[in-house]
Amino acid sequence: MKKGVVIFAHNSREVDYALTSVVSGFLAKKNLEVPVTLISDTSTVEWMDKSNIYDKALRVFENIIEVDRPVYENSRVLHDGINSKTVPFINANRSDVWKLTPYDRTLMIDSDFLIFSKELSEFWDSDVDLMISPAMRDLRGDRIGYHDIWVSDEGIPLYWATTVMFTKNSKTRLFFDLVSFIKKNYSLFSEIYRFRNTIYRNDISFSIAKHIFDGYEFIQNNHLPEVLTAQDKDLIHSFYDSGLRILLSDPISESASSIVNLKGRDIHLMNKESIVRISQDILEKI
Amino acid sequence: MKFGYLLVIAKNKKIDYLRLAYALALSIKITQKPGYDKVALVTDDTESVKQLRSPWVFDRVIEWNEKQFWDGRSWMDELTPWKNTICLDSDMLFFRDYSHWVEYFLKSETELFVPSTVYTYRGNTVVDDYYRKAFVFNDLPNLYSMYTYFKSDSELSRSFFKLNRHIVSNQDEFKNLYLQKHKPKIIGTDESFALSSKILGIQDEITYQLDFPKIVHLKPMIQRWPWPADTVSDHVGFYFDLMGQLKIGNFQQQNIVHYNEKTFITEEIVSILENIIWKK
């Protein structure tokens, strides 16, 4: 059974997802010791060439698969420390991973998820066909809102599609077809599951599909680990071989009040600009 | 008979408890395997039982009119016709076979078990103590009498229920002695069970960590919602299908549901359950 990691990256005018995907791919390959495939689009790949990271991308990725750029375009406010801007993000084609992955057992990760441990390797040989992270764990511990846990006030638990592992078979094909169906009928599902549909969220589509897949129940086990997350107001201070130092923002004062030394722990970094800023330190290792 | 369920009801002007008990007995007969599907009903009105379309769902009907309302459940050990009994509140429904839970109690020769964990309709353990102030302030074990397993020939059970009856009959005395930090208006079965077990020092023997029974408790303020609520049905739909299965909001219910809202059992729901049992 061929195992590997898949990362999606479609650049927007504001965020260099191509760059973050090379960083994320490099760390995934190094720490999980499996090949990594990038799924991207022509303009993003061309940008890699222009920004002189294409050679590095070729060394990191086993395959670079070009697909049509998704037409779905969301925008949301992203912070970079105390600064913020509204940025578009293009990520609505994750449900295509089943068709696109070259692997029998795939770990799909977000391009802002940096792997520094072997923890996810424990799940390659699991006989559970599909595993998703059931929760986000805030790095500081006290910055989780109700809707980081639940899709809606009375509704289902929110899974975090930051990490998804699956075996390519007919059962998981059904799952990803279902995610695709939910995406196409997002407005209808927002009525049934009572969430705001102003922006499309993969996490919500995956959560609904998982809920339906599990027989409209929350299954307590067979999940990937919780996604340890640094908020977008947090700033990466520095990178070193086995981890990061991160300045944590205080939700009240909004200033960076403490620093955490994160060693050997996988981390979801919502502050994309912060990854871009430290990327040169990581790219030097490639 | 080795094992059976026991339901204790009394006539009430506002609530038709017989209808609730009938729906529960129908759901037990539909879902439980033979040997684990016996139901005895204790009631002060046996004539009304005879008017039901399928009164045979009650394997035994016991006439008893010495106590009203929930006080009757304190006599469950004396009223049961079974050697091993689970006494249930009447406002509950079964949705799948739970006989393996009963088998555990029978095989382990459990003398008395009262759960201390209940669940929300979304499957989370209830942690909110909104309705349990008397338990928290008076440091009582967090017992839920809605599902009480006991062995009739057990000295432990006998002592427990005997003291329980004494508490229910002498409420003011026990409130003043043991519930000073938070006095409930009345000592209900949950409170009296908790007091009995605490006074006898048997809480660790009669309630402990088990993965079952799994009972969904539909009181509104314990559902982990981000706002206060008067009833659960104000906020999520109850979808009861022709297979006798229940979905609450987006969640299929697989465990015993203690629905609390007595108006939930309509004539239509009773008819659905009757149709299923008649075709079985």
ipTM of the complex: 0.86
B115 prior amide bond cis, ω within 30: no
- Residue B66's pLDDT is 80
B227 contacts on A by Cβ (under 8 Å): 153
The per-residue pLDDT string of chain A (286 residues; one tens digit each, 9 = 90 and over) reads 899 999 999 998 778 999 999 999 999 999 999 999 999 999 999 999 999 999 999 999 999 999 998 876 677 777 777 777 777 777 778 999 999 999 999 999 999 999 999 999 999 999 999 999 999 999 999 999 999 999 999 999 999 999 999 999 999 999 999 999 999 999 999 999 999 988 899 999 999 999 999 999 988 888 999 999 999 889 999 998 889 999 999 877 777 779 999 999 999 999 999 999 999 888 888 7
Partner-chain contact A217 B225, CB within 8 Å: no
| Sign (positive or negative) of CA dihedral B115, B119, B125, B128 | negative
Distance from the first to the final alpha carbon of chain A: 27
- Dihedral angle over CA of B271, B272, B277, B279, nearest 10: 110
Find, in chain B, the residue whose alpha carbon is nearest to that of A191: B250
A155 → closest Cβ in B123, B124, B249: B249
Partner-chain contact B251 A146, CB within 8 Å: no
A154 min Cα distance to partner chain B (Å):
6
Q: Which residues of A, range 213-252, sit inside 8 Å of B by Cβ?
A: 215-218, 220
- Dihedral angle over CA of B117, B115, B15, B28, nearest 10: 110
A211 → closest Cβ in B226, B235, B250: B250
Distances (CA, A) of A254 to A81, A142, A246, A276: 8, 14, 15, 22
Find, in chain B, the residue whose alpha carbon is nearest to that of A219: B123
Alpha carbon B98 to its chain centroid, in Å, reads 15
A155 contacts on B by Cβ (under 8 Å): 249-250
DSSP string of A143-203? Answer: ---GGGTBSSSSS-B--EEEEEEEE-SHHHHHHHHHHHHHHHTHHHHHHHTT---SS--HH
Strands A235-240 and B215-217: unpaired
Tell me the pTM.
0.91
Q: The tokens of B149 are what?
A: 């397993």
Q: Give which of B251, B254, B257 to mutate to test A binding, by max A Cβ within 10 Å.
A: B251
Partner-chain contact B251 A215, CB within 8 Å: no
The per-residue pLDDT string of chain B (280 residues; one tens digit each, 9 = 90 and over) reads 699 999 999 999 999 999 999 999 999 999 999 999 999 999 999 999 999 999 999 999 999 988 765 567 889 999 999 999 999 999 999 999 999 999 999 999 999 999 999 999 999 999 999 999 999 999 999 999 999 999 999 999 999 999 999 999 999 999 999 999 998 888 999 999 999 999 999 999 999 999 999 999 999 999 999 999 999 999 999 999 999 999 999 999 999 999 999 999 999 999 999 999 999 8
**Is residue B135 within 8 Å of residue B144, measured between CB atoms?**
no
Find, in chain A, the residue whose alpha carbon is nearest to that of B220: A154
Domains of chain A in start order, with CATH, are: 3-283 (3.90.550)
**Is residue B158 within 8 Å of residue B213, measured between CB atoms?**
no
A211 contacts on B by Cβ (under 8 Å): 250
Q: The tokens of B18 are what?
A: 């017989």
Give the list of residues 6+ apart from residue B153 with CB closer than 8 angstroms, or none. B83
CATH domain B3-279 topology: Spore Coat Polysaccharide Biosynthesis Protein SpsA; Chain A (3.90.550)
B123 → closest Cβ in A153, A155, A217: A217
A216 → closest Cβ in B225, B235, B250: B250
CB pairs under 8 A between A and B: 33
Find, in chain B, the residue whose alpha carbon is nearest to that of A151: B250
B50 min Cα distance to partner chain A (Å):
39
**3-class DSSP string for B100-143:** HHHHHHHHCCCCEECCCCCECCCCCECCCCCCCHHHHHCCCCCC
Distances (CA, A) of A161 to A30, A110, B193: 22, 8, 46
Burial class (CB in 10 A: 0-12, 13-18, 19+), B217: buried
Rounded CA-CA distance B267/A183 in Å is 40
Burial class (CB in 10 A: 0-12, 13-18, 19+), B249: buried
Using an 8 Å CB-CB cutoff, list residues of chain B that contact chain A: 122-124, 223, 225-227, 235-236, 247, 249-252, 254
Partner-chain contact B122 A218, CB within 8 Å: yes
Burial class (CB in 10 A: 0-12, 13-18, 19+), A81: middle
Q: Which of B70, B68, B62, B105 is nearest to B90 (CA)?
A: B70
- Residue B60's pLDDT is 97
Q: The tokens of B216 are what?
A: 């969904």
Rounded CA-CA distance A124/A192 in Å is 34
